[in-house]
Amino acid sequence: MKLLIENWKRYLSESHNISHMAMDIRDAADEYPEDPKFAIKQLGYNILGIGQGRVIIKIDNNTVAKIAYNDNGVEQNEQEYSIWNRTKSDLLVPVYDKLDGYITAAFALPCGEDCEGEIEKRKNIVRKELANAGVQSLTDIHNLMNWGIHKGEVKLLDYGS
């Protein structure tokens, strides 16, 4: 019981911290709409990447937060959360939770060109699984940066396109 309470307190603390980061990121993007990526980088968070609508921040060795900083990012988070919940595919990096303006997901190491052959093998399998779940298209599946290694397996880590 004590462990359950400690884990719950840690979860609430992390959620609170991520919520503050999400507010800071959205404020920075709103304040500097001409270059939101530059403004966000100045915040000093442990940023793993910045895309067209989301910032990926490493929370711990197991978790990242994908924080939306514009409407595109909100849509990406919605899509990724929905796809994960419809498929629970072993070929996708798991999404844990969706909260106000961000999702939390499993941390995955980037794999880049070293995984290119394995990625090619998995693309069609992922497409079929997603089609069976009603997902029509996934534009970023070709980008090597959207693939990573999670628990020793090559998986799609960005599927909120």
Residues 101 and 127 grouped into a single domain: no
| Residue reference for tokens 């514009």 | 70
Residues 22 and 92 grouped into a single domain: yes
Phi/psi region, residue 134 (left: phi>0; alpha: psi -120 to 50; beta: rest), is left
Residues 7 and 76 grouped into a single domain: yes
Rounded to an integer, what distance in angstroms lies between the CA atom of residue 85 and that of residue 42? 34
pLDDT over 70 at 62, yes or no: yes
Residue 81: C-alpha distances to residues 94, 101, 125 (Å): 9, 12, 20
Could you list the residue range(s) of the whole structural domain that residue 137 is in? Answer: 110-156
**The pTM is what?**
0.84
Residues 23 and 98 grouped into a single domain: yes
Residue 24: C-alpha distances to residues 30, 62, 67 (Å): 10, 23, 10
Residues 148 and 69 grouped into a single domain: no
pLDDT over 80 at 112, yes or no: no
Residue 35 one-letter amino acid: D
Average pLDDT for residues 46-65, to the nearest whole number? 92
How many folded domains does the chain comprise?
2
Res. 160 pLDDT band, cuts 50 70 90: confident
